[in-house]
Structure 1
Amino acid sequence: MADPDTRSVFRTGEIGSWGAPYWIGLLCSAGIAAINLYVWTQTAMPQFLAIAGSFTFGIGLFFTRFWSPALYLVGVVHVIALGVVWALGGRAFLVLGVANGVFSVGLLAIALSLFFAEHRAGDDS
């Protein structure tokens, strides 16, 4: 077994085995980040920059060995909080809000399904 300090930080060996749910989840996360970054450029409301940054950070973290299935649940809570922010401050951007909502619901469903799938796989091994 390799010494943990010499392993790559990135999960490059796993990327080839990722199925569609992983890539769709990443696409949803990138869509959420892009929409919120755009809204921040239009409104200068810092919460939208924070949302964009946090989803971008999550995407980066997903590609590292520091990712764990429990972080899917953190993402679920994050998406729910995102809905509150949009309900309170994003109503002026209806079309973007709907697109953000679609990405959010998709990410919520995928994150929950991947959490349970990886949790079951961990129990089987």
Structure 2
Amino acid sequence: MIRLITVIGLAAIIAASGACGARPEVQAPASAATVSSDSSCCDVAVHDTVTLSKQDRCIFDAYRRRCQTGVERSQDLCILRCLANGQPNIGGGCWHACFAYRNVQWTVPAGVKLCESLRRRDKSGETSDQEGRE
């Protein structure tokens, strides 16, 4: 009985611990009304600790170019911020974090299909970047 109480107590402490529950956060797209019409908001800088793969840099640049036109700025900003913070392979990735469960009909900017040729390959020859960026 004492072991059971000890185990339950430890489980409660671990569950309440902030370190165990800390997760990266990606800001989902805001409504178009809350996003600035100024294209300077698209000048998202890649975080100092993040090194984008050639494919991710290509994708990042394509979303930035479209963001500056204002066509789909709120969706593009979410992808840009996610990539810039090194989060494309966390959980479901940037596309999942930005668009899942939001009924957003997002489209891929021009030029992203060309980025596929830059996809990294691991030692087994399989692709290491997540799919769904096409």
Q: TM-score range by the shorter chain?
A: 0.3 to 0.5
Structure scoring higher RCO (CA < 8 A, sep ≥ 6) equals 1
TM, length-normalised to structure 2: 0.36
Q: Which has the larger radius of gyration?
A: 2
